[in-house]
Structure 1
Amino acid sequence: MKINLSILILGVILWSNSILAQKKNIPFNHPKIKYEGRIAFKDSAACINWSGSSISLNFKGSEISAILKDADTANYYNVILDDSVISKIQLDTVKRNYVLASGLSEGKHKIQLYKRTEWGKGQTFFYGFVTNENDKIVSPSKPKKKKLEFYGDSISCGYGNEVLNGQDSGTGHFENHYLTYGAITARHFDAQFHCIATSGIGITISWFPTIMSDTYDLTDPHDKNTKWDFDQYSPDVVVINLFQNDSWLVNMPKHEQFKNRFGSEKPKEDFIIKAYENFVKTIRAKYPKASIICALGNMDATKVGSNWPNYIVKAVENLNDKKIYTHFFEYKNTPGHPKVNEQSAMADSLIAFINQKIKW
């Protein structure tokens, strides 16, 4: 019996289309998708920038994927299934579907995309998840009661923390914010988590024109017009870990940013203390009830003989606020930025301090 070739081809096409039609799109603005971090919502996508931002969905099904596009190719995300990291993905500048998990057992699962890399690696556009047609979308877990927020520099970003040879690398491949002291601390306390951090940034001066007071209040750090609504998120505890970059740059009179910020003279101690004090005042004004931890370390700004912890102590004393604390991480005394084990030690230190000082 002969089969007409055109009929066979048509049958294959129809069969293929029926398979594709069995997929279900869960758009980025679906009410059961849960976001954490400062997210900029556009008409067609959620725009992800800050380190540690995440997107989660609870579902019942055997597989799930996500539709994503990146402004660069330097961004990486952890794929977290049922609270365990199962892979990392590097994004492309082409909008496409990324399979996150497949072959899953029956029952409820939680998928999470967690931004490993900092905003300087570019923006990510998240358009939604894709599941099988008959899979069920489940309501998100109850919101975590505790809330943490961090303001920091490369240490808080996790710059080069997965480099294994003891050196540094600014490529996204070696940056894993999930294993920074801030993220570890948040998971320990089962707390919601926001991280506003930029490698190279400072209070009085940065390695580039902007300082923390220019970016602390932005939803999208690429766009100065996207002011964050601080009423959306009121942390119980705020951690500020800044001054590492200042400690270098105030001694570099030939650097362009030194000239732009200070002219020809190194800033006096009073200026440095006042600048820190003013930034903490700004954060206090946004969060009148929060406990604020003014931290520093664990790079050479906290080595023996450094004046920078003393500047913070004096600033906090001047503020005379019983809910503002100081906490300094021990100088790690190793090359480069803190690696995973050193970030973990910082988390242990911070967790112990919070347990001792703060009731929440």
Structure 2
Amino acid sequence: MLIRKITFAAVLLLSLNGFSQLQIKPSDKSITYMGRVKLAQDSACFYWPGTSAAINFKGSGISASLKSRNEVGYFYAIIDNDAEHAFKFKSDTTKTTVSLASGLSSGNHTLQLYKLSNNTSENIFYGFQIDGKSKINTPNKPLKRKIEFYGNSITAGHGVDVEKGGQDSGKPETFNNYYTYAALTARHYNAQYSCIARSGIGIMVSWFPEIMPEIYDRLNPMDPNSKWDFTQYTPDVVVVNLFQNDSWIVNMPKNEQFISRFGTSKPTDEFTILAYQNFISSIRIKYPNAHIICALGNMDATKAGSKWPNYIKQAVERINDTKIYSLIFPYKNTGAHPNKQEQQMMADDLIGFIDKNIKW
């Protein structure tokens, strides 16, 4: 499979020379989206990690037109479900057409365009272009199961693509949501997947002004007026993995966000438990029938002696809902964010927990 990158000018030149190309707008019903997407006639905006667009087609090659705002975004292009040979590429602030595959056989093919990046990258998708004797095939039927995750850097995929011995810097190119425990679990169950996650976010306090209770109901996480319609996606299972960042910042009284949220006094145990309880209750209101797993880990908020697992367990006990559970991932006992292997271990734990406790 030959990968190349071409500009809009090159596409136009090829067309003038008789090159056959089928243009597919983002609003075309042949495209299947997963995740929170702002869809218009000529564009679709991806905000959250793990958001994807898929299409079934015939043709000798396929391209996508994109650009990004705020910071560069990174994607996988997965042809014929071959994730092992996925093409990873970036989208910057210039509207560009990226050739995702060429020289394809004459049979049927699939493409999944998958956002790997943090939600600080706003990515605008302008459609697909299919080369050769092309045809759009019928999209797959929607997957029956649905799962949704609310999380921080662990769930977003911070550092998953850091090479062995490399620095866990949080650069956009090191994010890879595809290999997080969240995405791995969704694929295990062949479930639709929605991921509401941002590196550095907390329930009471974050490394930036926004906290999850303020943005969890947004389509565009950076726009307070951009509200998500929860009737568009009703998950069977919700997994919440938050409090890692809170566990650090509550011990940093000089931190700007500590001062903004708490003033001069560290939050009490009761305040902390109630904050978590209130957030989970807000999720329950949105999804009255979902199973909700209140998870924590696998970084140092779950190390021996930490109070944070117990805060979650007490909040769950107080809610007293038979379909709300607590799950504490074991502390990975290594530095930096979880790598692919550690993410897989989390997925194995979560899958085992779901198999034991939930029928869906």
TM-score range (shorter-chain normalised) is over 0.9
- Identity, in percent, stands at 54
The aligned counterpart of 1:27 is 25
Work out the CA distance in 2 between the residues paired with 1:14 and 1:242.
Answer: 50
The aligned counterpart of 2:283 is 283
Work out the CA distance in 1 between the residues paired with 2:40 and 2:140.
Answer: 25
- How many residues in Structure 1 have an aligned counterpart in Structure 2? 346
User: Does 2:313 correspond to 1:340?
Assistant: no
Asked whether the 8 Å contact 1:58–1:138 carries over to 2, the reply is yes
Work out the CA distance in 2 between the residues paired with 1:227 and 1:281.
Answer: 19
CA RMSD of aligned residues (A): 1.5
User: Does 2:273 correspond to 1:292?
Assistant: no
Work out the CA distance in 1 between the residues paired with 2:21 and 2:347.
Answer: 42
2:69 to 67, 71, 74: 71
The aligned counterpart of 2:202 is 202
The aligned counterpart of 1:272 is 272
The aligned counterpart of 2:131 is 132
Shift of 1:44: 2.7
How do 1:307-322 residues align onto structure 2 when only pairs under 5 Å count? 307-322=307-322
Shift of 1:135: 0.8
Shift of 1:223: 1.4
The aligned counterpart of 1:154 is 153
Work out the CA distance in 1 between the residues paired with 2:233 and 2:102.
Answer: 34
The aligned counterpart of 2:9 is none
The aligned counterpart of 2:303 is 303
Work out the CA distance in 1 between the residues paired with 2:92 and 2:72.
Answer: 9
How do 1:157-236 residues align onto structure 2 when only pairs under 5 Å count? 157-163=156-162, 164-165=164-165, 167-236=167-236
Shift of 1:41: 2.0
Q: Structure 2 length normalisation: TM-score?
A: 0.93
Shift of 1:131: 1.1
Shift of 1:60: 1.1
Q: SS where residue 260 of structure 2 aligns?
A: helix
Shift of 1:49: 1.1
Residues 167-202 of structure 1, C-alpha deviations (whole Å, 9 max, x = no match): 412111111110000000000000000000011111
Shift of 1:107: 1.2
One-letter amino acid matched to 2:87 = S
286-295 vs 248-257, greater mean Cα deviation:
248-257
The aligned counterpart of 2:3 is none
Between Structure 1 and Structure 2, whose CA radius of gyration is higher?
1
Q: Which runs of 5+ in 1 are unaligned?
A: 1-12
Asked whether the 8 Å contact 1:76–1:89 carries over to 2, the reply is yes
One-letter amino acid matched to 2:55 = L
Asked whether the 8 Å contact 2:27–2:41 carries over to 1, the reply is no
User: Does 2:325 correspond to 1:325?
Assistant: yes
Shift of 1:281: 0.3
Residues 307-355 of structure 1, C-alpha deviations (whole Å, 9 max, x = no match): 1000001000000000000001000011111111100100000000000
User: Does 2:36 correspond to 1:38?
Assistant: yes
Work out the CA distance in 2 between the residues paired with 1:16 and 1:206.
Answer: 49
Work out the CA distance in 1 between the residues paired with 2:117 and 2:259.
Answer: 30
Shift of 1:43: 4.9
Q: Which runs of 5+ in 2 are unaligned?
A: 1-11
Shift of 1:101: 0.8
Residues 36-58 of structure 1, C-alpha deviations (whole Å, 9 max, x = no match): 00001245310111000001110
Work out the CA distance in 1 between the residues paired with 2:177 and 2:87.
Answer: 14
Q: SS where residue 315 of structure 2 aligns?
A: helix
Residues 198-236 of structure 1, C-alpha deviations (whole Å, 9 max, x = no match): 111111111111110111001111211110000000000
Work out the CA distance in 2 between the residues paired with 1:281 and 1:139.
Answer: 40
Work out the CA distance in 2 between the residues paired with 1:68 and 1:15.
Answer: 19
How do 1:72-91 residues align onto structure 2 when only pairs under 5 Å count? 72=70, 74-85=72-83, 86-91=86-91
Work out the CA distance in 2 between the residues paired with 1:105 and 1:115.
Answer: 26
Q: Structure 1 length normalisation: TM-score?
A: 0.93
Cα distance 1:16–1:100, how it changes in 2: closer, same or farther (>3 A)? closer
